[in-house]
Amino acid sequence: MDENLKLTIQKIRMLSEQNEEFRNEMQKLFGNSVSASVVNVIPDLTNNISAIRSALEIRANVSISYSFVKHQRLRDQLIIDNLRMENAALNLQDPEDGRFYIFCVNAFYQVENIVNYFYHTIFPDIKKLVQEIEDSTKYENNDYNYRRNGREVTVSSIPIAHKINAFFNSYLPNERSLKWSIGTLRQVRNEGEHRCDIIRKEKDDNNNLYKFFKSQTFNSLRGELIKFVNAVEEKIKRPIKVPVSIETIESVIKSKLPSACYVLFRDDTVQLPINLFSKIKHLENNDKIVLSVVGNKIIDVGEP
């Protein structure tokens, strides 16, 4: 058979598997018996990477092994997203910024799917999962505290930002740099390519995305993703949570206002949480204080 026809058949198989609407149209066109044969002869994509690469017109090789994922369709999707990610890195005909954006987006798809797989595997009971995410994010800043809404049905009902934070807080609390890299991928996806291009050109060191683009490369981000996936694989096999560690840090009051206070925290000046202001309202600028910290959140304050 002509190679172009073979490629067309492979694409039809892929689309039939991934798109129910397309599959239904194929059934209308060829009849149930023919279309069923088209769908049923789809190869085991995980064991036939060359078929995926050919169908998607991809030159790259897989850079991450997802053999530990037991759900075949999810495993296939992870491989497809990984191949698309690596293909973007190799596609030298496109501008580097555009290639890196596609690389990041497909990296994020892998993060999202593997995090969902982890929580679905470890916490199959949705009520226990909701409790886990709440407990694991309670020390986050207000925007990242997860609060149940009563509409949680599956793991996908919980926003990915909360699940990423929960995973790092419970299982990789000391991997702050990795948490930032993996978490920022979501922001890249949400902003879109056009907005990301603007942020690069603005060169604002106070912008989290600009700092990400400035510090990350194809190789460094690939390494971060591999490290993260390996950690997820290990935690699926041995899901041991790390006890919450409360750190005590010596600090000083940098600026005290009538209803707010700014303190020294990790070589930076940050606002003390409003609910803690009453504990230091009798103190003055440059007075010494002690901060109780979990991760990067101040949870208490006192005098030395």
Q: What is the pLDDT of residue 207?
A: 92
Give the contacts of 243 (CB within 8 A, at least 6 positions apart). none
Per-residue confidence (pLDDT) for residue 10, from 0 to 100: 58
Among 230, 182, 224, 181, residue whose Cα is nearest residue 69: 230
Give the burial string for 41-72 (b: 16+ CB within 10 Å, else e). ebeebbeeeebbbbbbebebebebebeebeee
How many whole angstroms separate alpha carbon 302 and alpha carbon 276?
Answer: 9
- Region 247-302: CATH code: 2.40.50
Identity at 211, one-letter amino acid code: K
Question: Do the strands 247-256 and 268-271 form a parallel or antiparallel pair, or are they unpaired?
Answer: unpaired
Q: Can you give the pLDDT at residue 278? A: 92
Q: What are the E-state strand segments in the chain?
A: 247-256, 261-265, 268-271, 288-294, 297-302
| pTM, rounded to two decimals | 0.73
Edge-first strand order for the sheet with 268-271 is 268-271, 261-265, 247-256, 288-294, 297-302
Question: pLDDT value at position 295?
Answer: 74
Inter-axis angle of helices 32-40 and 3-18, nearest 10: 90
Residue 27 φ/ψ region, left for φ over 0, alpha for ψ in the -120 to 50 degree band, beta for the rest: alpha
Q: What is the mean pLDDT of each run of 10 residues along the chain (304 residues)?
A: 52 60 57 37 54 68 92 92 92 87 96 97 96 91 84 94 95 93 95 91 90 94 97 94 86 94 92 91 94 86 92
Q: What are phi and psi of 185, to 5 degrees?
A: -55, -35
Residue 243 pLDDT: 80
- SS3 label, residue 2: coil
What pLDDT is attached to residue 53?
64
Residue ranges of domains in the chain: 3-42, 49-237, 247-302
